[in-house]
Amino acid sequence: MSSIEDTVVTESPGIHDAEIDRLFGAGGPLGGAVGSYRPRHSQTEMAKAIAGAIARQGTLIAEAGTGTGKTFAYLVPALLWGGKVIVSTGTKTLQDQLYMRDIPTVRKALNAPVSIALLKGRSNYVCHFHLERTLQNGRLTAREDVGYLRDISRFMKTTSSGDKAELTQVPETASVWNLVTSTRDTCFGAECQYYQDCFVMKARKEAQQADVVVVNHHLFFADVALKDNGIAELLPAANTVIFDEAHQLPETATLFFGETVSTSQVLELCRDVLAEGLSHARDGADWPRVVSPVERAARDLRLAFPEDSIRLALNQIAPSSVFFPALDTLKDCLDELLAVLEKNAERAETIEQCRTRAIELMRQLDSWNGPQDVKVTKAADAKPAKSAAKKDSDKSSEKNGDKKDGEEKQTYVLWVEAYASSLQLHRTPLSIAPIFNKQREGSPRSWIFTSATLAVKKDFNHYAAQMGLWNEPAQSWPSPFDYEQQGLLYVPQNLPQPNSFEYTDAVIDAALPAIESAGGRCFFLCTTLRAVHRAAERLRAEFEARKLPFPLFVHGEAGRTELLDRFRASGNGVLIGSQSFWEGVDVRGDALSLVIIDKLPFSPPDDPVLAARIIEMEKQGLNGFVHHQLPSAIINLKQGAGRLIRDEGDRGVLMLCDPRLISKGYGRRIWQSLPPFKRTRELSVVQDFFLRQAAIKSAEASAAVTQIGAA
């Protein structure tokens, strides 16, 4: 890992520090376009570093503290000098914000003649074919879907994009969306009768032609991993790729460069085979009898693990377990189903599509049971599917990116995950570094990785190791916020160990006086859903008993956006959330003055992938805790802590309840990686902090009234 100062930057015409200073200066074009804009030294220096990376078609890891203004810092050089640019975000929320607000603002300020396109995964666009089929057959799974389907049908007559985000009255989680959108498996492509009107194809065509394309990490890696005619087609033309919220990349890439096959997918295939067989080839087979053994085998595979929730690596499953014969039975039954589909595939396109899906499921099941050391890009070396599927399975393997002999090997971890009604078989790469580096080969281009949380005390080694970005330049720019004056870090005393049975209740007992002093206005962030439920139960009872007028908003009781809107509007609410509220959440002003984190966010010890990675690191002479678990937890904690101070006028308390922050030797490394708040272990200091803030607000309000009276 090299610092930015060690890198010689060869400037291309037009990319000069003086020009960056002018653009970001007080009298520059950005100030005229953004009313609240103020020059920030960190933002200007970050923009210079990104401009340099673009000029040399190099890589830059760029950590920018909250409030730096990193979005403008990368958009200005990208729009002026980046050529064809792909901007990838961690969330669809930021993706929409960039497309609808930030990029148009910068483009207007710079008078830059660039075109912009928004590209999302196909599940975000209504599909003409699947909507028509659902309207005709009426296979709805929920009563409210009838009204939602009517809304979607009306929406299709007026929309130009087909993006379901525009139809806000139908919740994103509504089950009807699965019936009116396509997947890679259920899309007919150019053979579809609606191909010319397809919103997915329209969005991809616009992306091909645009100068700047905004995507999200899930789409980027799904398309690159599956070679699904989206990002895979955009990449060759791109001069610059920018990953915002880049701290999410290791987890997202791990998901998409691995494979998952589930009993739910098998059951969905069976339902579709039955429906399409009866519709188009009733005389071709006894369709209920054909699918019944497959459905039974899929359910029996799930029942191999009686627990409601379990995660086990392959080597943790007892050789005598019924799981292995159940898996063989499922593959045998699926093979028999394939033989029937093969005979009837020419009867209808939808039956052919079911055959293709069955081949892919068979390939994935065989691949999961195959060798763990495979070639670099996907689950290669899988033994071929049987009987009629063999030739197509080989083609499917080629399509999924299998490499030729002699290429680098990649180790995968095989593990199972059981839910209440399904079982997932995962094949997860031990490291994404060699796979991701393979994706970065080819035409020279610049790669920018930026986030507020990429380093541990300005050390980027953990992130670089995960992404394979060794010896690439990296730099961190500080936040402009005055954390010492704006915030307080509070670690309460006398808490039990985090693994004790009474821990969550002890945290709530310690948190209640702080919540009361803050007047509500609190995020209570938990590391587990179990803690969320217990905290909600206790706080609801305590607020009622103590007559505290704080509205309670609990993760899972409504969608994230709705909960946040209601929290902001309440002005004195308490929101209890798990992981999805630790990042990508922006609440500014008085509505949020206290962030409570129940314990340090270490990965669960039963994670099979984590266990395998630690074993591999220790083989290399590294310490799994020091070199992986601890830095991962610190980066995650920095995200949670970052919810507190979002603006120069924000004031608040960060309450970390884990006693290991004080009792363990690594605690110092943790709090030194957090913003430089004043620190205390005394509740009275917290109470005095909130009293002072209340007095300041009261004085400001009185002064405002006086001014109004004088006017």
Question: Using an 8 Å Cβ cutoff, are 280 and 383 in contact?
Answer: no
Q: What's the confidence (pLDDT) of residue 2? A: 46
* Rounded Cα distance, 269 and 346, in Å: 18
* Core vs surface per residue 623-642: b (16+ CB within 10 A) or e: ebeebbbbbbbbbbbbbbbb
Identify the weakest region by mean pLDDT among 10-19, 568-577, 583-592.
10-19
Containing 136, the helix (H) or strand (E) segment is helix 128-137
- What is the b/e burial string over 186-200, where b = at least 16 CB atoms within 10 angstroms of the residue's CB? bbbeeebeeeeebbb
Tokens, residue 440: 């970065």
Q: Which residues contact 582 (CB under 8 A, 6 or more apart)?
A: 525, 601, 636, 639, 640, 643
Write the CA distances from 244 to 344, 364, 367, 586, integer angstroms.
48, 32, 33, 16
State the DSSP string of 165-225: GG-TTS-TT-TTHHHHS--TTT--GGGSTTGGG-HHHHHHHHHHH-SEEEEEHHHHHHHHH
Among 85, 55, 56, CA closest to 237: 85
3-state helix, strand and coil shares in percent for the chain, rounded to the nearest 5: 50, 15, 35
The CA angle 528-534-537, to the nearest 5 degrees, is 145
Nearest to 664 by CA among 636, 639, 629: 629
Q: What is the pLDDT of residue 94?
A: 87
| Residue 405 near residue 199, CB atoms below 8 Å | no
CA Rg value for the chain: 27
Instruction: Choose among 398, 338, 330, 421: nearest CA to 368.
Output: 330
- The single-letter DSSP state of residue 556 is T
CB 535 within 8 A of CB 526: yes
> In one letter, which amino acid is 297?
A
What pLDDT does 9 receive?
A: 37
Q: Output the six-digit token pair for 667.
A: 């605690």
CA distance 599 to 597: 6
Contact 9, 71 (CB under 8 A): no
**DSSP secondary structure string, 628-687?**
IIHHHHHHHHHHHHTTS--STT--EEEEE--THHHHSTTHHHHHHHS---EEE--HHHHH
Q: Which residue has the tokens 């905290």?
A: 535
Higher pLDDT, 479 or 31: 479
> What is the pLDDT at residue 410?
76
**CA 167 – CA 312 distance, rounded (Å):** 40
462 three-state secondary structure: helix
What is the per-residue pLDDT across 676-700, written as a single tens digit (0 to 9) for each?
999 999 999 999 999 998 888 777 7
79 and 103 Cβ atoms separated by less than 8 Å = yes
The CB density around residue 684, as the number of other CB atoms within 10 Å, is: 10
6 CB neighbour count, 10 Å cutoff: 9
Query: Cα angle at 375 between 369 and 381, to 5 degrees?
Result: 40
Q: Regarding beta strands 487-490 and 652-656, do their DSSP bridges make them parallel or antiparallel, or are they unpaired? A: parallel
The confidence score (pLDDT) of residue 20 equals 93
Longest dimension (CA), the chain: 90
The 10s digit of each residue's pLDDT in 172-192 is: 878 899 889 998 778 888 888
Helix, strand, or coil here: 316? helix
Single-letter code of the amino acid located at 30: L
pLDDT for residue 400: 40
Tell me the average pLDDT across 703-708.
Answer: 64
Query: In which band, very low, low, confident or very high, does the pLDDT at 420 lie, cut at 50, 70 and 90?
Result: confident
* Per-residue model confidence as pLDDT tens digits over 318-335: 989 999 999 999 999 999
Tell me the pLDDT tens digit for each residue of 342-360: 999 999 988 999 999 999 9
Q: Map tokens 């003649």 to a residue.
A: 113
Three-class secondary structure of residue 455 per DSSP:
coil
Q: Cα 636–509–689 angle (5° rounding)?
A: 70
Cβ-based neighbours of 290, under 8 Å, separated by 6 or more: 273, 277, 336, 337, 340
- Could you tell me the two tokens for 415? 């593990």
Which amino acid does the sequence have at 60? L
Task: Tell me what pLDDT residue 47 has.
Answer: 96
pLDDT at 398 over 80: no
Mean pLDDT of 309-322: 90
Mean pLDDT of the region 530-557: 94
- Rounded to 5 degrees, φ, ψ at 228 are -100, 40
Do 488 and 653 form a contact (C-beta atoms < 8 A)? yes
Helix (H), strand (E) at residue 267 = helix 263-280
Question: Which of 34-38, 163-167, 522-526, 624-628 has the highest mean predicted lDDT (pLDDT)?
Answer: 522-526
Task: Round to whole Å and give the CA distance between 79 and 32.
Answer: 18
Mean pLDDT check: name the lowest of 100-104, 254-258, 290-294, 467-471.
254-258
Please enumerate in sequence order all residues whose Cβ is within 8 A of that of 18, keeping only pairs 6 or more positions apart, or say none: none
What CATH fold (topology level) applies to the domain 483-697? Answer: Rossmann fold (3.40.50)
CA 41, 464, 643, 484 dihedral sign is negative
Asked whether the predicted pLDDT for residue 402 surpasses 60, the reply is: no
pLDDT on residue 227: 62
> What pLDDT is attached to residue 380?
33
Q: Which fold has domain 2-120+202-252+434-477?
A: Rossmann fold (3.40.50)
Token pair 């994670």 in the structure block, residue? 607
Is there a contact between 197 and 72 (Cβ–Cβ < 8 Å)? no
Non-local (6+) Cβ contacts of 478 within 8 A are 42, 65, 68
Reply yes or no on whether the pLDDT at 401 is more than 80.
no
pLDDT at 15 (0 to 100)? 65
Handedness of CA 54, 56, 58, 62 (dihedral sign): negative
The residue ranges of every structural domain in the chain are: 2-120+202-252+434-477, 126-180, 256-431, 483-697
Q: Is 242 helix (H, G, I), strand (E, B) or coil?
A: strand
Burial annotation 496-506 (CB, 10 A radius, 16+ → b, else e): eebeeeebbeb
Tell me which residue of 659, 251, 376 sits closest to 492, measured CA to CA: 659
pLDDT at 64 over 50: yes
The set of residues, in sequence order, having a beta carbon less than 8 Å from that of 682 and lying 6+ positions away, is: none
The tokens for 83 are 């050529």
In CATH terms, are 2-120+202-252+434-477 and 483-697 the same topology? Answer: yes
Of residues 399 and 305, more confidence is placed in 305
Residue 3 has pLDDT above 80, yes or no: no
pLDDT value at position 121? 86
- pLDDT digits over 600-650, tens only? 999 887 789 999 999 989 999 999 999 999 999 999 999 999 999 998 889
Task: Name the residue with higher pLDDT: 376 or 274.
Answer: 274
DSSP designation for 98: I
What would the mean pLDDT of 478-506 be, rounded to a whole number?
94
Tokens describing residue 700: 């400001």
Mean pLDDT of the chain: 87
